[in-house]
Amino acid sequence: MKITELDLPGLKLIEPKRFGDQRGWLAEVWQDTRYRKAGIQESFVQDNLARSARGVLRGLHAQEPYAQGKLVQVFAGKVFDVAVDLRAGSPTFRQWHGVVLDQDNGLQFYVPPGFAHGYYVMSEYALFGYKTTDIYSPQSEFAVRWNDPAIGIDWPIDGEMILSDKDRTAPLLADIPESRFTSF
């Protein structure tokens, strides 16, 4: 497996090794010891799977307390995946990083606790899977507006966009109390 450390501390792009022949390919997408050696020390406690149509934008979501680290990947389709540093005191606070994940590149994106996360579906549909380091806690969850100008994410929006009411009306980062952010 190949690990690339990204420009925001803690973010990692992971390329699991694929073993293929005329039948197709096989990839080991999680093995605790190997990922710990690669610097992902958290334990994962929950797996989620989402299917979304073209144009769906989910996020930007975070939890505090019970911040979730996430190991995300796309099993079918293509998404633009984004992490935003919401760790109070971090030198990269409010900065974002985006990656394209799809069924062909097989990449995984590790987003540590303290980051908001979201993605935009670029294909007809996407089957999106992710492991989390803490369970979902509805009372701890909050959202940041997907198009907050203080963050400035360059989403590759192409055509119609589909948002939940929660994501459409999420507050701007400046309107969220700092107590909601994880300490760095």
Q: How far is CA 138 from CA 59, 60, 131, 167, 183, in A?
A: 14, 15, 17, 15, 20
Among 35, 110, 120, 130, the active-site one is 130
Asked if residues 63 and 57 have their Cβ atoms less than 8 Å apart, the reply is: no
The reply to whether 117 belongs to the active site is: no
Among 35, 61, 117, 120, the active-site one is 61
Helix (H) or strand (E) holding 166: helix 165-168
Longest dimension (CA), the chain: 55
**Residue whose pair of structure tokens reads 């097989």 in the numeric block:** 106
The reply to whether 136 belongs to the active site is: no
Q: Which two tokens stand for residue 136?
A: 């979902």
Which residues carry out catalysis?
A: 61, 130
